[in-house]
């Protein structure tokens, strides 16, 4: 299925409550989460800049957010374990971290449906669904990269800080 086809499927399912709660809605939600997890799609993408010093503009893809909601509507709550840690959630923790080229220090958590570029270091922090963390970034101790947020490449999310949805924080920015 192409991304244009996936977008149409998500929009169709999200618009019809019966379809949203069907196997078709579940499949659409799972496809969106899998694409987010691989970094194949992003909740927000940068628009081309008119000039080098022009402010950044971003396009939010609302259909992807609706796809995430389809996932949450249809997935059951399950008991999960990651080593000695136990969870009860609808979303598993991210896997294949070595292949992704990222380091996660216990008890750091990146959820399935988030994307971490190679070289990310996740200290005991948290990366939520739909978030995109750029290469070389360190998510410092107890920092959070929220749902659908973006963390710039080679940046640091400082200890105890949070990146809001669809934000773009660079080193030295508030």
What pLDDT score does 153 carry?
73
Across residues 95-107, what is the average pLDDT? Answer: 94
pLDDT tens per residue across span 126-169: 999 999 999 999 998 888 898 988 887 766 665 555 565 443 33
State yes or no: pLDDT of 171 exceeds 60: no
Nearest CA-CA partner of 30 in 97, 129, 96:
129
Helix-strand-coil percent breakdown of the chain, rounded to 5? 30, 25, 45
Taking only the tens place, the pLDDT of each residue in 2-47 is 999 999 999 999 999 999 999 999 999 999 999 999 999 999 998 9
Q: How far apart are CA 134 and CA 147, in angstroms?
A: 15
Cβ–Cβ < 8 Å for 28, 70: yes
Q: Can you tell me the distance from the alpha carbon of 87 to that of 109, in angstroms, rounded to the nearest whole number? A: 11
Given a contact cutoff of 8 angstroms between Cβ atoms, the answer to whether 142 and 125 are in contact is yes
Which tokens hold the place of 140?
A: 């410092």
The answer to whether the CB of 142 falls within 8 A of the CB of 159 is yes
Question: Can you say whether the dihedral through the CA atoms of 78, 123, 115, 68 is positive or negative?
Answer: positive
Q: At what angle do helices 62-74 and 23-38 cross, to 10 degrees?
A: 120
Q: Which residues contact 7 (CB under 8 A, 6 or more apart)?
A: 61, 63
3-state SS, residue 136: coil
What are the chain's domains? 3-47+57-74 (1.10.166.10), 92-169 (2.160.10.10)
The whole-number pLDDT of residue 6 equals 98
- Which of 94, 99, 149 shows the shortest CA–CA distance to 122? 94
């Amino acid at each position: 299925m192409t991304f244009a086809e996936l977008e149409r499927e998500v929009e169709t399912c999200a618009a019809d409550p019966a379809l949203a709660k069907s196997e078709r809605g579940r499949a659409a939600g799972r496809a969106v989460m899998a694409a987010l997890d691989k970094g194949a799609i992003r909740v927000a993408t940068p628009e081309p800049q008119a000039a080098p010093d022009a402010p950044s503009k971003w396009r939010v893809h609302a259909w992807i957010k609706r796809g995430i909601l389809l996932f949450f509507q249809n997935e059951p709550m399950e008991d999960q374990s990651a080593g000695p840690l136990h969870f009860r959630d609808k979303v598993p923790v991210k896997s294949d971290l070595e292949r992704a080229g990222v380091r996660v220090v216990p008890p750091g958590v990146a959820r399935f449906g988030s994307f971490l570029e190679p070289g990310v270091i996740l200290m005991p922090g948290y990366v939520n669904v739909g978030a995109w963390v750029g290469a070389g970034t360190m998510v410092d101790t107890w920092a959070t990269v929220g749902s659908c947020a973006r963390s710039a490449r080679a940046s640091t999310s400082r200890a105890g800080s949070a990146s809001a949805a669809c934000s773009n924080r660079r080193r030295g920015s508030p």
